[in-house]
Structure 1
Amino acid sequence: MKQSIFDEVIDRQNTSSEKWDALSSVYGTSDALPMWVADMDFPIPKEVQEALYSRISHPVFGYTFPSHAVDNAIQKWLKNRHDWQIESAWIGYSAGVVSGIGTTISAFTNPGDQILIQSPVYKPFFDMIEHLDRKVVNSPLLIDNARFEIDFIDFEEKLKSGVKLFLLCSPHNPGGRVWSKEELIKIGELCDQYDVLIVSDEIHADLALSHSKHIPIASLSNSVASRTITLMAPSKTFNIAGLQASLLLASNPEHKKQIEKIQIQNAFHGVNLLGLTAMEAAYQYGEPWLNELLPYIEENIQVAEAFIAKELPALNVMHPDASFLIWIDCRSLGWTDEKLQDTLLNKGKLALEPGPKYGQGGEGFVRMNIGCPRSVLLEGLDRLKRALT
């Protein structure tokens, strides 16, 4: 079998890696295999690394700004990858998608306002709402045939209750669900009907797998676009999260102006020089690398699902439509989440994300990051088996 560039095991210890070097502070142990934080253990595209080398070879690192070349690379990427034609005037920048969530909440709501989410969902959705003194309103997702579905009856009831803003996770984290065009249209129509702003976290958009197609919700129509701010980034796609460069895309000029006002108030003056360098190179040259990565991730998912089905039949994997994360249902074990985590860590020496971290509906689940070389994945699966049998 041909060796893949993604089979190489890269030692990330002692590189200030949160995933590898923060185990002791987060999990209380340093000898567990980390399969928790959502970054991959793969080398970035050579073109991105070479662009960084080239820029570093210049001896001056002064103030910087996003050039037209960066904007052009973003526009071409979104058109080619997602069939979404955007204008350069829509493009704004942020240090990260979580920063973008905080910025948009501050820009378009006031303390005490209600913000709608759909749990289980990425923990910073809760955190940013609460840190900014807004109120979380939750419309929990349903599980039907081991797949997340939107409870549109409950969703509409919550919108009616006076919600100002809806945080959409698309594709969904932790479930890996890519929402269908019909679902997105319905979301857009309901938010339009009840005059609710949409902030769409689409950081996993580029990682839609072969059986799925991600649709940016703002690409559906002008009316949906006019009430949507889309948050995207090359960070998950190309494994460059540490460079902290992401996008806030808004077609409504009034929204763009309000976002910029809040960024100025927060003393945010732009993305760092190397983040912009990496972003431009990734979007301009990274597609062949991504096209090689996605089948490798799919094979990892297949390996994990087959192993768990055979060796741990009490567990059930929610098959993802996107990304390198799998959401594992452990409820049939009948264990508490505390017992599950304790057993994984102390018996299996395996660090997975606990489901309750993602809010209501996460109880009894764990999230496993399979964005790693196949040999590391197999080691992690063996540890999962050792822990639970």
Structure 2
Amino acid sequence: MTTNYTKLPAILLLEDGTVYHGKAAGKIGTTTGEICFNTGMTGYQEIFTDPSYFGQIMVTTNAHIGNYGIHDDETESGNIKISGLVCKNFNIAYSRKLSSESIQDYFQEENIVGISDVDTRSLVRHIRDKGAMNAIISSEILDVEVLKQKLAEVPSMDGLELSSKVSTREPYFYGDSNSTYRVAVLDLGVKKNILRNFDNRDVYAKVFPAKTSFKEMEAWQPHGYFISNGPGDPAAMPYAIDTVTEILQADKPMFGICLGHQLLALANGIRTRKMFNGHRGINHPVKNIILDRCEVTSQNHGFGVVAEDIEKSDKVEITHVNLNDQSIEGIRVKGKKAFSVQYHPESSPGPHDSRYLFDQFVTSLQN
């Protein structure tokens, strides 16, 4: 375990010219991405490895990151997906005996650049007021003018297609081949705990690359389809919108989470748009207006569906709403076994209030 790490100076520069000075964390280097913040107090390793965060610099609002170390079972994908980390305290020493290594060793192995000793309360307030923007972290270039030039070359997240960059390259199976049900998973950045939830419900999953056609997936003869979470702008993914449209036309059971929710909306003529800040945390209150009950949810998204379009639509209806800002958190297609939610019912990290949605989907496969 690394304990004698010398903290070198580092700089965080935001797109609007705001500069924060701190200490190097992880690999010495330079990284860029869209800056966002997550309010969860636990689950930093799951956040780091969530493919939906690809291309983003993560600000953690909890004061201590790394304090319980790194554990192999707490990853949501094969490697770290965030572009960089901003935190207050980067704790190299850790307390959990089951952990295998420190966060510093982990970041160095994964070539992740970060910055610590930053006033994250001030930073989050700034992002909250000014909105999402690109940023650059560097512990090797300390000239702000040079960093401004590099940052100017970074594209906006609005209009970026990123799912094909994090999706599996080859199909693979997850679960017991003797399970009762087969579900085709369109991998746009799927989390491991989503697949575990299927496996726990007598489902054998075949995970397909992002640009797989409906015809190829249908050849496996699945009982239903799952459209996963993932990074980037859903409107920049015509290939996935076409696939979801074909699944609907074939009248197959379908369940979408996060990006999958946005794609289901787009396939029904409902627009999506980039949010001012997005929702990222594990305590977002959502109301299921069909069941008239509330649930505390885990969320991670920077795009959302346009509520006015849904209200005018004769194809879909609203099933869930966010109690903080009244944004749309769930829809279902009228007359079909197709539904989606904007949040993460598999949690990891987060509460398990919403895992009933997996049961709801499996029930739809039975008929």
Q: Give the structure-2-normalised TM-score.
A: 0.34
* Structure with the higher fraction of residues in strand conformation: 2
Say which structure is richer in helix: 1
Of structures 1 and 2, the one with the larger relative CO (CA 8 A, separation 6+) is 1
